[in-house]
């Protein structure tokens, strides 16, 4: 479980997150949605500790993460996986080296054990033939899958995904969504996904938090979202002409 | 002025992070070896080309300038040796490497910053500053003095070649000049200077790249800033070290 309590974050006097309190449960895919510039990436980066919040607290289970120093956070970070928008694979390393890096640094496993784990993770994301490829040799979908493999290699308890579908075609997006969802269920991970892709919301969204201009505007499930009486949320959800027609038909 | 102090402060804090205890020494050893190849071995060609030509040109210039019946010919070899050992092989080569290695480091780390690769390392619990920068510093501080020795040898050989090929002076006299009043302290002085310059180039360039933000344009600016700041720092450090070590 990850919990944010009254968090406020400002950059150069401009408030980006305004008193947000939210709880994300384990074993479910939690989605943060909102328009571009609404503050959802800042929220995600604050939750994961890349930004320090100005006020409020962030809890990982019972531990107050936001007050910990670098060394104390390190222990928790071994349980954290993150998939960045662009994949963020190390350019100078192969796919296998990228996935193996956390094992090299934080485990005492033998080389065989590490390779076995890397093979398992790459197979889990259907990348078993990409060990020796460099990130520049991969397609967008493959980069995302390699990033997922790296994120799960240490058996994380918490998984953060920043727009995992950006730049992908609809079919590949569904593959990535389902993969994240399956992994979440399989390992009982607390997964938080940042997205503005409504397909993802309807496919895998179990808990949805809508951020509007730095405020938590609405939260609920994917079933609630279609019936929510909230103008800003409706504008966001039914932004496309097709969605509007579907709503009218309903 | 405030920005300079702010930069010095941030640089100091970054170095504190860089020199904190490494996660696993074996991983660092592998990375240091890789960096030695990338930053050191790959600079041998450039160092050789520049050194051989400068050695030859210095010999030619000395031969033309010192053309007098009162000055013995071996002084040309002596002057070439002094120029190559005391200043060229350390200071000028360091300035050249600031251009090549410094811009390479700043753009590499800067690109990692803007493509969130550094964030990814931090999320994994890795001390990104130490993991990325420490191997580069160790590799260059260890390897650049070898480049300086190589530069001295190649530069002096360049002078010998030009003396032999053009006949502007007797090559035997050139050799005599190389051995005239030779103190090994001069080599030590050059190597100490080069080790300092290696640290300056690598740490300043890493700093410029590490704090790059924005887009590819900013990475370009960081790269330019790295070369400019490293070069200025080398010149200041050269003055201080010469004062401290030679007087």
Per the prediction, chain B carries an average pLDDT of: 93
Asked if A84 and B119 come within 8 Å (Cβ–Cβ), the reply is yes
Asked if pLDDT for residue A244 goes beyond 70, the answer is no
Task: Identify which of A74, A86, A101 has the shortest CB distance to residue B115.
Answer: A86
Residue A73 and residue A65 in contact, taking contact as beta carbons nearer than 8 Å: yes
What pLDDT score was predicted for residue A249?
Answer: 65
- Per-residue HEC secondary structure of chain B comes to CHHHHHHHHHHHHHHHHHCCCCCCHHHHHHHHHHHHHHHHHHHHHHHHHHHHHHHHHHHHHHHHHCCCCCCCCHHHHHHHHHHHHHHHHHHHHHHHHHHHHHHHHHHHHHHHHHCCHHHHHHHCCCCHHHHHHHHHHHHHHHHHHHHHHHHHHHHHHHHHHHHHHHCCCCHHHHHHHHHCCCCHHHHHHHHHHHHHHHHHHHHHHHHHHHCCCCCHHHHHHHHHHHHHHHHHHHHHHHHHHHHHHHC
Asked if pLDDT for residue A241 goes beyond 60, the answer is no
- Per-residue HEC secondary structure of B77-106 comes to HHHHHHHHHHHHHHHHHHHHHHHHHHHHHH
% of chain A beyond a pLDDT of 70: 96
**What is the residue extent of each domain of chain B?**
24-245
Mean pLDDT for the stretch of residues A73-87: 89
Asked if A74 and B125 come within 8 Å (Cβ–Cβ), the reply is yes
What pLDDT score was predicted for residue B94?
Answer: 96
What pLDDT score was predicted for residue A105?
Answer: 86
Note the pTM of the prediction, 2 decimals.
0.87
Residues 6 or more apart whose CB falls under 8 angstroms from that of A153 comprise: A81, A99, A100, A102, A103, A117, A118, A121
Which residues does chain A have within 8 Å of residue B120's beta carbon, measured at their own beta carbons? 82, 84, 88-90, 150
Task: Identify which of B23, B116, B125 has the shortest CB distance to residue A88.
Answer: B116
Output the CA angle A171-A162-A210, nearest 5 degrees: 95
Q: Kindly give the parts of chain B with pLDDT less than 70.
A: none
What pLDDT score was predicted for residue B97?
Answer: 95
Cα–Cα distance for residue pair B113/B120, rounded to 1 Å: 10
Find residue A209's DSSP bridge partners: A32, A219
Cα–Cα distance for residue pair A88/A82, rounded to 1 Å: 10
Please name the helix (run of DSSP H) or strand (run of DSSP E) that holds residue A190, with its range, or none.
strand A190-195
Q: Does B132 touch chain A (CB under 8 A)?
A: no
What pLDDT score was predicted for residue A230?
Answer: 80
Per the prediction, chain A carries an average pLDDT of: 89
Measured in angstroms, the CA of A208 and the nearest CA of chain B are apart by 24
Mean pLDDT for the stretch of residues A123-152: 91
Chain A residue closest to B131 (CA)?
A105
Task: Identify which of B24, B115, B120 has the shortest CB distance to residue A105.
Answer: B24
Measured in angstroms, the CA of B12 and the nearest CA of chain A are apart by 18
- Mutation target for A interface from B18, B107, B109, B124: give the one with most A CBs within 10 A: B124
Mean pLDDT for the stretch of residues A202-220: 90
What pLDDT score was predicted for residue A250?
Answer: 60
From A60-74, A217-231, B47-61, B181-195, the region with the lowest mean pLDDT: A217-231
Q: Is A104 helix (H, G, I), strand (E, B) or coil?
A: helix
Find residue A212's DSSP bridge partners: A215
Report the complex ipTM.
0.85
Structure tokens at B238: 């050269």
Q: What is the pLDDT of residues A163-176, one digit of tens each?
A: 888 888 888 888 88
- Mutation target for A interface from B123, B129, B214, B215: give the one with most A CBs within 10 A: B123
Per DSSP, A69 falls in state -
Which residues does chain B have within 8 Å of residue A86's beta carbon, measured at their own beta carbons? 115-116
CA end-to-end span of chain A: 36
Chain A residue closest to B114 (CA)?
A88
- Residue whose pair of structure tokens reads 């310059």 in the numeric block: B197
């Amino acid at each position: 479980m990850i919990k944010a309590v009254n968090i406020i974050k400002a950059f150069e006097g401009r408030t980006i997150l305004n008193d947000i309190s939210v709880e994300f449960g384990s074993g479910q895919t939690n989605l943060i949605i909102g328009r571009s510039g609404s503050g959802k990436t800042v929220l995600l980066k604050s939750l994961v500790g890349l930004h320090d919040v100005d006020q409020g607290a962030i809890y990982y289970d019972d531990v107050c993460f936001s007050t910990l120093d670098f060394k104390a956070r390190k222990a928790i970070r071994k349980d954290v996986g993150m998939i960045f928008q662009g994949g963020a694979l190390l350019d100078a390393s192969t796919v296998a080296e990228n996935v193996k890096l956390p094992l090299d640094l934080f485990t005492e496993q033998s080389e065989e054990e590490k390779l076995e784990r890397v093979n398992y993770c790459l197979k889990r994301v259907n990348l078993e033939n990409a060990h020796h490829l460099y990130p520049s040799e991969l397609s967008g979908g493959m980069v995302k899958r390699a990033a997922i493999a790296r994120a799960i290699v240490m058996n994380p308890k918490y998984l953060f995904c920043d727009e995992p579908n950006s730049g992908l075609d609809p079919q590949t997006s569904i593959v990535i969504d389902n993969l994240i969802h399956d992994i979440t269920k399989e390992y009982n991970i607390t997964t938080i996904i940042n997205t503005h892709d409504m397909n993802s919301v309807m496919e895998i969204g179990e808990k949805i938090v809508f951020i509007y201009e730095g405020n938590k505007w609405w939260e609920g499930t994917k079933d609630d979202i279609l019936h929510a009486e909230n103008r800003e949320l409706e504008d966001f959800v039914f932004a496309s002409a097709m969605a509007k027609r579907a709503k009218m038909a309903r | 002025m405030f920005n300079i102090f702010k930069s010095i402060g941030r640089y100091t804090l970054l170095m504190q992070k860089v020199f904190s205890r490494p996660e696993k020494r074996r991983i660092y050893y592998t990375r240091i070896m890789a960096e030695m190849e990338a930053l050191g071995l790959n600079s041998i060609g450039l160092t050789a080309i520049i050194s051989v030509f400068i050695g030859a040109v210095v010999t030619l210039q000395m031969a033309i300038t010192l053309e007098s019946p009162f000055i013995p010919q071996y002084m040309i070899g002596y002057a070439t040796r002094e120029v190559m050992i005391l200043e060229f092989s350390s200071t000028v080569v360091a300035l050249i490497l600031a251009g090549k290695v410094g811009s390479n480091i700043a753009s590499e780390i800067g690109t990692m910053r803007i493509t969130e690769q550094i964030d990814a390392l931090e999320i994994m619990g890795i001390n990104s500053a130490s993991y990325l920068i420490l191997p580069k510093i160790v590799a260059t501080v260890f390897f650049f003095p070898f480049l300086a020795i190589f530069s001295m040898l190649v530069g002096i050989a360049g002078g010998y070649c030009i003396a032999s090929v053009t006949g502007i002076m007797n090559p035997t006299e050139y050799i005599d000049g190389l051995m005239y009043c030779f103190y090994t302290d001069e080599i030590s002085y050059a190597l100490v200077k080069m080790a300092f310059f290696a640290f300056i180039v690598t740490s300043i360039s890493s700093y410029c790249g590490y704090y790059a933000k924005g887009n590819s344009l900013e990475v370009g600016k960081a790269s330019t800033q790295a070369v400019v700041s490293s070069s200025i720092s080398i010149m200041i450090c050269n003055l201080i070290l010469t004062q401290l070590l030679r007087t």
